[in-house]
Amino acid sequence: MRWEGQELAVTDGAALPGLQRLSGLVRSVRTPEFEGITFHEVTSKSALNKVPEASHVPFRWTVNPYRGCSHACTYCLSGYAPISMADGTTVPLARVRPGDQVLGTRREGLSRRLVRTQVVDHWRTSKPAFRVELDGGTSIVASGDHRFLTLDGWKHVAPPGEGDPPRPYLTTRDRLMGLRRSVVGAAVRGEDALAVSYVRAMDVELPMFDLTTGTGDFIAHGVVSHNCFARNTHTYLDLDAGDDFDRQVIVKVNVADVLRREVGRRGWAREHVAMGTNTDPYQRAEGRYRLMPGIIEALAGSGTPFSILTKGTLLRRDLPLLQRAAEDVQVGVGVSLALLDEGLHRSVEPGTPTPKARLDLVRAVRAAGLPCTVLLAPILPGLTDSEEQLSALVAAVAEAGATGISYIPLHLRPGAREWYLGWLESTRPDLLPLYRRLYHRGSYSDQRYRDWLRARVEPHLKAYRLRGDDDEDLVDDRRRPLHGKRWGTRLTPSGSGTEAATVVPGQDPLF
């Protein structure tokens, strides 16, 4: 069945209700090859995305040909966010369920009061996280698209992305509408508002959750929180805000042409461009749309070095193109692999290529004459860090021909911590005391564990003559490509390697 035959709508015809408002929409497509997923093909005004200066990542530019996929959508808050329930208690967002009664707000004349409202739906996925710190010590982890009620109205956590329309967003001049009493009928008053101390990108993807309620809002961390903007956008487009949202993929069909113009400009400095730091460029849809060949050609043709991090075995298709590109520019390829156990893989990384398939991809990259680093991330204490497991994993990676290994123990940042410990409690409760000891000081494992892990991994790397980096070695100059000149080139740390500087773009967190 031809793909073109599945077209649902075009801009000069009867588009899906509301989709005429999606900027640059060309058509919407469904196909049996991707059951349950609708692809909205759009023309994009820009291809290069500039990373904010405040982000501690070793590159300044990215290219993302897709917005979202079946496992990477926009949600609002981290799972640990305390939600005010109608009975006066609080429940972590991750544990709220459809049918629960929570507190929302309703306008009464010029004022806004707390009312009882029902949770209609609840979802979970992963997105880049931001931390919003309020006066008084309240710390909120949310996606950049989430909105909070301020004294000046609803505002997003972060500014719009490159090429997106303007929108109001939080600054240190804002105050979030807070609550003195979380009881039905209480007024939401300006004098209880909490000042924003700072908003910072956390440079990591975390599990994010979203609610739909009868009032369109809810109370999280004691402040008024709106339903996720992206989901409201889908509702605005007359698309379902629940399961459909996970299955509506935006495809930038002209991304290669736009990129070619951008990197062809006289002012382009040919800085390193990283791909795969947000959504995987070799997700299944790439098999149909074939956007990456044009992107690779545009970058190589302009003399722009680039790297690709992926779990997708579809990268094999473009190996001849990458070989030719490597003759002219620095090309890096990285494959992420956390474990070998198939059962554990299905539990913590559902919907991704199997460990065997990723090892085969490493072999194919090396057979093409390209360097390939494997990111062993994250290593799970008590689950994937035994002598036997690490020995087998390094041996498998070495046998596949990898030119280097980076290994990173699990980071339990807010949101990830609650979800993961909840998962651990239901699957391996015997490990909970270990995790409480290792992560008693925060997101990073205890220094003694990292030293222990280094001592356990390094002998295996030396045995196979593999260059290796741990999480304290990965960042040198933050504006220098993560892999030095290519994936697999060891970096010599110029700084202290402190935890605060330990940022691994491409550590695609499992939890």
Assess whether 241 and 341 both reside in one domain. Answer: no
For residue 151, what are the contacts with CB-CB under 8 A and spacing of at least 6?
Answer: 174, 175, 177, 190, 193
Q: Measured between alpha carbons, how far is residue 350 from residues 284, 423, 510 in Å? A: 14, 14, 10
Assess whether 343 and 235 both reside in one domain. Answer: no
Dihedrals phi, psi of 460, to nearest 5 degrees = -70, -40
DSSP state of 31: -
Nearest to 27 by CA among 216, 191, 355, 250: 250
Of the residues 246, 262, 284, the one at which a domain ends:
246
Greatest alpha-carbon pair distance for the chain in Å reads 73
Assess whether 207 and 102 both reside in one domain. Answer: yes
Assess whether 123 and 220 both reside in one domain. Answer: yes
Q: Using alpha carbons only, give the angle 8, 10, 16 rounded to the nearest 5 degrees.
A: 55
Nearest to 319 by CA among 253, 366, 374, 257: 366
Assess whether 235 and 93 both reside in one domain. Answer: yes
Assess whether 223 and 358 both reside in one domain. Answer: no
Q: Measured between alpha carbons, how far is residue 62 from residues 145, 148, 233, 266, 306 in Å? A: 19, 28, 25, 19, 9
Assess whether 206 and 353 both reside in one domain. Answer: no
Task: Tell me if 428 is assigned to some domain.
Answer: no
Residue tagged 């939401």 (tokens)? 188
Assess whether 348 and 485 both reside in one domain. Answer: yes
pLDDT of residue 238: 38
**Domain span holding position 402:** 335-410+447-503
Dihedrals phi, psi of 72, to nearest 5 degrees = -145, 85
Assess whether 86 and 194 both reside in one domain. Answer: yes
pLDDT of residue 13: 35
Dihedrals phi, psi of 101, to nearest 5 degrees = -100, 120
pLDDT of residue 192: 81
Q: Using alpha carbons only, give the angle 278, 283, 284 rounded to the nearest 5 degrees.
A: 160
Record the tokens describing residue 226, joined without a space. Answer: 């709106």
Task: Tell me if 311 is assigned to some domain.
Answer: no
Contact 321, 291 (CB under 8 A): no
Assess whether 369 and 499 both reside in one domain. Answer: yes
Q: Measured between alpha carbons, how far is residue 52 from residues 60, 88, 417 in Å? A: 8, 40, 26
Task: Tell me if 318 is assigned to some domain.
Answer: no
The number of domains in the chain is 2
Task: Tell me if 145 is assigned to some domain.
Answer: yes
pLDDT of residue 164: 66
Of the residues 199, 220, 246, the one at which a domain ends:
246
Task: Tell me if 420 is assigned to some domain.
Answer: no
Tell me the CATH number at 372: 3.20.20.70
Tell me the CATH number at 183: 2.170.16.10
Task: Give the pLDDT of the chain (511 residues) as one tens digit per residue.
Answer: 333 433 433 333 333 333 334 457 777 776 655 555 677 788 888 899 887 665 445 778 999 887 654 433 333 577 778 899 999 899 988 888 888 999 999 888 778 889 999 887 777 766 788 999 998 788 899 988 888 999 888 898 999 877 666 888 999 999 999 886 667 778 888 778 899 999 999 877 777 887 878 888 899 999 999 864 333 333 333 333 333 334 567 789 999 999 999 999 999 999 999 998 767 899 878 888 999 999 999 999 999 999 998 888 999 999 999 999 999 999 999 998 989 998 888 777 766 788 999 999 999 999 999 999 998 988 999 999 999 999 999 999 999 999 999 898 988 865 567 667 777 877 888 999 999 999 988 778 999 999 999 999 999 999 998 876 655 443 333 333 333 333 333 222 222 222 222 223 333 333 3
Assess whether 341 and 471 both reside in one domain. Answer: yes
Task: Tell me if 32 is assigned to some domain.
Answer: no
Of the residues 211, 228, 246, the one at which a domain ends:
246
Record the tokens describing residue 415, joined without a space. Answer: 């949101």
Assess whether 366 and 474 both reside in one domain. Answer: yes
Identify the burial level of 161 via C-beta atoms within 10 angstroms of its C-beta, where 0-12 means exposed, 13-18 middle and 19 or more buried: middle
